[in-house]
Amino acid sequence: MLKIELDEESAIAVLQPEGPLTRADFEAAASRIDPYLEKHGRLRGLIIYSQDFPGWDSFGAALSHLKFIRNHHQKLSHVALVTDSRIGSLAEKLTSHFVSAEVRHFPHDQLLQAKNWILDS
């Protein structure tokens, strides 16, 4: 399951995985975020907030994740990976080559700092 919060005032979406990610999780995220993007054009930031990366429940879910990134990365200014997982640092380095948003990794206990980084940029 993917908990999805969209703060329309600050234009920040927070995605919080609560178990292996599914195809339906990315469809739900798109259905929550896309209407905002249609109305406003961009998000200031997207925060992925999870103690550890839970992985995907299937190869189809991983493909849905990549499709979500492809369809949304140009409409984001910043992506914060707020996690203690080692994949956070790796993802920060790798994704910066493939997405237009600025990507930064934060330890799991720095959610507020991640939000402030987005708001101050």
Strands 102-106, 43-49: pairing kind? unpaired
Mean pLDDT of 99-113: 90
Element (H, E) at 89: helix 86-95
Query: What does the domain layout of the chain look like in residue ranges?
Result: 2-116
**DSSP string for residues in 46-75:** EEEE-SS---BSSHHHHHHHHHHHHHHGGG
Termini Cα distance of the chain: 30
- Token pair for 71: 């369809």
For 61-78, the pLDDT digits (tens) are: 888 887 888 888 789 999
pLDDT at 28: 95
pLDDT in tens, 12-63: 999 999 999 999 999 999 999 999 999 999 999 999 999 988 888 898 888 8
Cα–Cα distance measured from residue 44 to residue 5, given in angstroms and rounded to the nearest whole number: 14
Topology at the third CATH level for domain 2-116: Transcription Regulator spoIIAA (3.30.750)
